[in-house]
Structure 1
Amino acid sequence: MGFWDNNEAAPNVDTVRPFTRERMADWMRSKDYNFSTDDDGDVITSFGNHRFLLMANGADAEVLTVRGRWAITAPASARYKILEAINQWSIEKIWPKAYVVVDDNGTLFVSTEVSVDLEKGVSDKQLGQYLSCGIGTAIQLFEELDRLFPDTRFGPATPPPNM
């Protein structure tokens, strides 16, 4: 006999709903994470000393992007060593996308991104998984960079507002 023949309650279904910035904020609240929002409603938060921006991008704000910034800055002279470490990470891991940015002062920042097109909607469980993936895999990379580059010349990062 099939499921439709028994008297048990239907399984709890995690309903797919439109992706919104407010749903990202709701997820943060459900986890008791501290955060603020920018003028667009995107979520700004930190885990450890690492900064994160949880954004809704795209023409219709349908693309979830979790962008992270390593809590450490480095001199531009460390660029190729850090790029090599990021490349090795990318060979072995799927997430996150990572890249190096050097500002006008010659300071090097490492940023990460995980993006997902949610044009057709997303369940709460899926959204939580995507946000956890973007944050968690970034922190794993940052911890690996901390291990590989314990050099005290590197200073704490002060990311620009737009990261």
Structure 2
Amino acid sequence: MPQSPTAHDPNDIQEFNLDAVAGILQDEKLDYRIDEHDGEKVIRTGFINAAISFILLDGSLTMEAMWRGAPSTDAAAQVLAATNEWNLTQFAPTIRFFELNEGTLAINALRHVVVSAGMSHNQVGSYVMSSIESAVQCFEWLEQQFPDLVTWKDEHHDH
């Protein structure tokens, strides 16, 4: 009698492939798309206040999230104080800001994990979902710090 293939144990360490991130997003029923940036595959998803990307670079999986709020460069001192407070008091993600274009700043969140030794399905899932959750929490905190920059409304928040 032929044996059926055995399912992989979700805790087994396997060589990391960015498709694992897409699989987690699909399992969680989150919309995503796959793009290419500078010759590298990028998985993008997002929420009302954030654009989130996952990319594999130099043996690390990086989550980068861009906040939708756009402070003016005149608010750089307040943005610096807020990013410093977040980074000093929170474990993840690390946030930073930079000039997006003349007169406008961008605030983004970063988180990395080394994947060169491989990851299990459960490790990938934990990293992806905790990265998304921490970015969303960070950006909700930024909305409290800069309420005048919130120009969007989440119609699903009350559900």
TM over 0.5: yes
For residues 79 and 138 of structure 1, the distance between their equivalents in structure 2, rounded to whole angstroms, comes to 21
Matches for 1:123-138 after TM superposition, within 5 Å: 123-138=120-135
In structure 2, the residue matched to 1:47 is: 47
In structure 1, the residue matched to 2:62 is: 65
Which of 87, 90, 109 is the equivalent residue of 1:90?
87
- In the comparison of the two structures, how many residue pairs are matched? 141
Deviations along 1:121-160, one digit per CA (max 9) or x if unpaired, are: 00111111111222111111111110111115x667xxxx
Percentage of pairs with the same residue: 23
For residues 30 and 41 of structure 1, the distance between their equivalents in structure 2, rounded to whole angstroms, comes to 20
In structure 1, the residue matched to 2:143 is: 146
Deviations along 1:63-90, one digit per CA (max 9) or x if unpaired, are: 1100001111111111110111111111
**TM-score normalised by structure 1 residue count:** 0.80
Pairing 1:110–2:107 present: yes
For residues 104 and 13 of structure 1, the distance between their equivalents in structure 2, rounded to whole angstroms, comes to 44
Matches for 1:21-32 after TM superposition, within 5 Å: 21-32=18-29
- Report if the CA contact (8 A) 1:22-1:41 is conserved: no
What root-mean-square deviation, in Å, do the aligned CA atoms of Structure 1 and Structure 2 show? Answer: 1.6
Task: List alignment gaps of at least 5 residues for structure 2.
Answer: 1-8, 153-159
**TM-score normalised by structure 2 residue count:** 0.82
For residues 10 and 73 of structure 2, the distance between their equivalents in structure 1, rounded to whole angstroms, comes to 50
Task: List alignment gaps of at least 5 residues for structure 1.
Answer: 1-11, 157-163
SS of match in other structure, 1:64:
strand
User: 1:92/1:150 Cα in 2 relative to 1: closer, same or farther (>3 Å)?
Assistant: same
In structure 1, the residue matched to 2:156 is: none
Larger Rg: 1
